[in-house]
Chain A
Amino acid sequence: MAGSYTVYFGPQHPGAPGNIGFKLELEGERVVKAELIPGFLHRGFEKMIENRKWENSYVLSYRFCVEDPDSLEVAYAEALDKVFRVEPPEKARYFRMIQAEFSRIASHMFWVHFMAGSTGLRTPAYWASAAREEILKWFAWVTGHRVYHNFSVPGGIRGEVPEGFGERTTQLTYLVEDIVKDVEKALLGNRVFKRRTRGVGVIKGDVALKLGATGPVVRGGGLKYDTRKIAPYERYDKVSFEIPVGEVGDSYDRALVRFREVYESLKIIRQAVLEVRRGEPYRVKVPLTAPPGRGYARVEAARGEYTVHVVSTGGRSPYRVRFKSPSLPLLTTVLNYILENEEVTIADLPVIFASLDPCAPDIDR
């Protein structure tokens, strides 16, 4: 056909969602098909974990989604709890929730860079980076590292929480809430942003689910679907929170849902902090060899449902560990569904990428 091209997009491109490429088929300005080219971040985690031992395999477990590592850390720790048939102390359960929720907020704040960058707004990105920085500083204070925390381990959490944990954490939630409110106003309230995102990348929740997506993409499409509610893990059944949903399912709704989620996460943290007290037991010992069996965990991460499937045949190492990534359907089936049903131009493409918020390393593993 006249005027149809094939163009390679990414991975070295500021609009690309991370280190990942696309082969785009264009008709004039319109993108008709996008074929994913992954593999730039492939390390072979599932193989490497088999080479590690039970006691140090968790160091690898969370590294394939760097933006949101703690959801995976919690998921892997929980799966190993099942393998070893231990019950971590209550305090550890609540702490894991705090960790996962802070990680979700940090991840959503990282997403603001991406979303604001692709719509041409720099200011909210700067403010969001301050919110993220505050959270990472908190992590460094509690766990000893900013990004890779190594704190949720099989059998509980790794150490005692520091002095003044409750007050500082609660204070932080209010500080973050203030910043996030500003960011929301500056981003969602902006006319340019509304024009760029309203009606762009529409997908309904039930359609997205059928295509394999979970998380904010489904909730933005108006479906109340969240693993924290339908199959509560840790102590999510003991705290009260809402599941925010959008209406239309366009990029704006997904952005809105992410901001609303941040407020719900902060609510969860404030409730969970009350249960984490210094001096209570935080960890039970797990043996060095595991009994044969199966461990399985499902958690709701910032991008959707992660599942971890651990197969043990006894011995010192995991036999097989399999992770499920929520990002893979976003950039394949969901993206192509949007391209088929909508006139998407090249200029809209980064906006759609950003609003789907995939995590590139998590596709490649």
Chain B
Amino acid sequence: MASVMKRLVNWARSRSPWMIHYCAACGAIEFPMLVMSPLDWERYGYMPVPSPRQADFIAGMGYLTRKTVKLMINLFRQTPNPKYVVAGCNCTATGGLYWDSYATFKRLDDFFTVSGWVPGCMPMPDDWTALLVDLRRQVEGGLKRDVLKDFESYIKSVEEEERKWAKEYYSRSQPPVNYSFKETYPECEENYPDLKLCVTSVGREKLRSVLGELKSKGFQLLLNIDAVDYPKNGVIELYYVVENTGDGSQMAVKTFTPRGDPVVESVHDIYPNALYIEREVYEMMGVVFRGHPDLRKWILDGNWEGPPPLRKDVDTASYVVKTFYKGDRYGR
């Protein structure tokens, strides 16, 4: 009798697995196809639910940035038993194309036990149906719940190592400046007429006044701040790309700052969106913007503790191979 009851419960469970509605990464782009018109997974009783407390399983759909993994663990803890973890895409399984990314964890099974893997980059919605069918079968066959593994010490050890690296990086002395620079503003240094782009250069002291002047001339749209690091010359080049909203021509104002003292004036009062672009350049390149009200880690917060990753002398690839693949770059 008890076993009949149990089988009945398992059967009922297998007919209504609900997934946490959490679009964790790029694999989620194919989910509307799976959920809606062409494949309609409600035929199998599947459904996305907003709340983890009503859900049965969580799907890893793509690369696992560190911040996302922490969130997934939280969600998994809130889900009632029995709960399952499934994985699609290659980045979830081995790191995939992002094998040298400093901001992702490489394997979902470092954190959870996993009940099914769909390889592909990215898997087509039809590929996911193999998983849907198999998960149903597994649950009906009495699949035990998936569990969390010991992850805290792992995450902590990775972050500790990065902090150590950052400390060591900042204590290193910077190479001397060996860089030839000629101010050409208002003439163009390089001109690309087909793109309507003109590269001009100014010293960093004059940057603010030049940008102010350009803005009054009609260059009202700040597109981006590009930073290029030259450790050999001891400088970081900065390009402020502005666009003339009248005729669509662009001006890239080039300036530089020595790596020993990477400070430039903030321009957020001239261009409001510079507030956020400067913050990004600060965390990625370590350029300090004087006068910026809220310079802090933002995108990298929770993802990376080490030195500014986009600097050329920060070799994140070999660090990642050492930490996540035990030194074997073809490992998994």
In the complex, chain B residues whose CB is within 8 Å of the CB of A43:
63, 65, 98, 101, 103-104
Interface string of A315-343 (1 = CB under 8 A from B): 00001101010001100110000000000
Q: Check B221–A210 contact: CB distance below 8 A.
A: yes
Q: Check B220–A209 contact: CB distance below 8 A.
A: yes
- Complex Cα spacing A12 to B28, Å: 13
- Complex Cα spacing A305 to B245, Å: 13
A113 at the interface (CB under 8 A from B): yes
Within A41-70, the residues touching B (CB, 8 Å) are 41-44, 46-48, 50-51, 59-60, 63, 66-67
Interface range on chain B (Cβ under 8 Å from partner):
35 or more
A26 at the interface (CB under 8 A from B): no
In the complex, chain B residues whose CB is within 8 Å of the CB of A18:
23
Q: When the two chains form the complex, which single residue of B21, B104, B248, B302 contacts A12, counting CB atoms closer than 8 Å? A: B21
Q: When the two chains form the complex, which single residue of B228, B241, B310 contacts A324, counting CB atoms closer than 8 Å? A: B241
- Complex Cα spacing A40 to B69, Å: 9
- Complex Cα spacing A18 to B301, Å: 18
In the complex, chain B residues whose CB is within 8 Å of the CB of A230:
196, 247-248
Which residue in chain B gives the minimum CB-CB distance to A311?
A: B228
Q: Check B65–A40 contact: CB distance below 8 A.
A: yes
Of A124-132, A186-194, A246-254, A279-287, the one touching chain B: A124-132
Which residue in chain B gives the minimum CB-CB distance to A225?
A: B245
Interface string of B215-242 (1 = CB under 8 A from A): 0000011111011110000000001010
Q: When the two chains form the complex, which single residue of B37, B103, B271 contacts A212, counting CB atoms closer than 8 Å? A: B271
In the complex, chain A residues whose CB is within 8 Å of the CB of B227:
322
A80 to chain B, nearest CB (A): 14
Which residue in chain A gives the minimum CB-CB distance to B227?
A: A322
A261 at the interface (CB under 8 A from B): no
B132 at the interface (CB under 8 A from A): no
Q: Check B20–A322 contact: CB distance below 8 A.
A: no
In the complex, chain A residues whose CB is within 8 Å of the CB of B63:
41, 43
A219 at the interface (CB under 8 A from B): no
- Complex Cα spacing A126 to B34, Å: 11
Q: Check A296–B20 contact: CB distance below 8 A.
A: no
Q: Check B316–A297 contact: CB distance below 8 A.
A: no
A338 to chain B, nearest CB (A): 14
B67 at the interface (CB under 8 A from A): yes
Q: Check A42–B103 contact: CB distance below 8 A.
A: yes
In the complex, chain B residues whose CB is within 8 Å of the CB of A67:
29
In the complex, chain B residues whose CB is within 8 Å of the CB of A136:
33
Q: Check B65–A41 contact: CB distance below 8 A.
A: yes
In the complex, chain A residues whose CB is within 8 Å of the CB of B245:
206, 209, 225
Q: Check B102–A44 contact: CB distance below 8 A.
A: yes
A295 to chain B, nearest CB (A): 10
Q: Check B121–A148 contact: CB distance below 8 A.
A: yes
Most chain B CB neighbours (cut-off 10 Å) among A11, A38, A42, A136: A42
Q: Check A38–B298 contact: CB distance below 8 A.
A: yes
- Complex Cα spacing A113 to B21, Å: 14
Which residue in chain A gives the minimum CB-CB distance to B63?
A: A43
Q: When the two chains form the complex, which single residue of A47, A110, A209 contacts B102, counting CB atoms closer than 8 Å? A: A47
Task: Decide yes or no: A297 and B195 within 8 Å by CB, A19-B25, A42-B103 being known contacts.
Answer: yes
A214 at the interface (CB under 8 A from B): yes
A76 to chain B, nearest CB (A): 15
In the complex, chain B residues whose CB is within 8 Å of the CB of A307:
223-224, 241
B112 at the interface (CB under 8 A from A): no
A270 at the interface (CB under 8 A from B): no
Interface string of B267-286 (1 = CB under 8 A from A): 00001110111000000100
B9 at the interface (CB under 8 A from A): no
In the complex, chain B residues whose CB is within 8 Å of the CB of A88:
none
B24 at the interface (CB under 8 A from A): yes
Q: Check A209–B221 contact: CB distance below 8 A.
A: yes
Q: Check A40–B248 contact: CB distance below 8 A.
A: no
B68 at the interface (CB under 8 A from A): yes
B179 to chain A, nearest CB (A): 14
Q: Check B101–A44 contact: CB distance below 8 A.
A: yes
Q: Check A19–B37 contact: CB distance below 8 A.
A: no
- Complex Cα spacing A317 to B258, Å: 25
Q: Check B50–A13 contact: CB distance below 8 A.
A: yes
Q: When the two chains form the complex, which single residue of A11, A66, A231, A319 contacts B71, counting CB atoms closer than 8 Å? A: A11
**6 closest cross-chain pairs (CB), A and B:** A230-B248, A212-B273, A324-B224, A66-B26, A129-B36, A322-B226
- 25 example contacts (A-B, Cβ-Cβ < 8 A) are as follows A11-B22, A12-B71, A39-B302, A40-B24, A40-B67, A40-B71, A43-B103, A47-B309, A47-B316, A48-B98, A113-B32, A113-B36, A130-B37, A210-B272, A214-B221, A230-B247, A231-B248, A296-B192, A305-B223, A311-B228, A322-B227, A324-B224, A329-B276, A361-B25, A364-B299
B residues with CB within 8 A of A:
20-26, 29-30, 32-33, 36-38, 50, 52, 63, 65, 67-68, 71, 75, 97-98, 100-104, 121-122, 124, 190, 192, 195-197, 199, 220-224, 226-229, 239, 241, 243, 245, 247-250, 271-273, 275-277, 284, 298-303, 309-310, 312, 316-317
Given known contacts A13-B50, A44-B309, A322-B226, what 5 new A-B pairs fall within 8 Å (CB)?
A: A41-B25, A47-B316, A133-B37, A206-B245, A324-B224
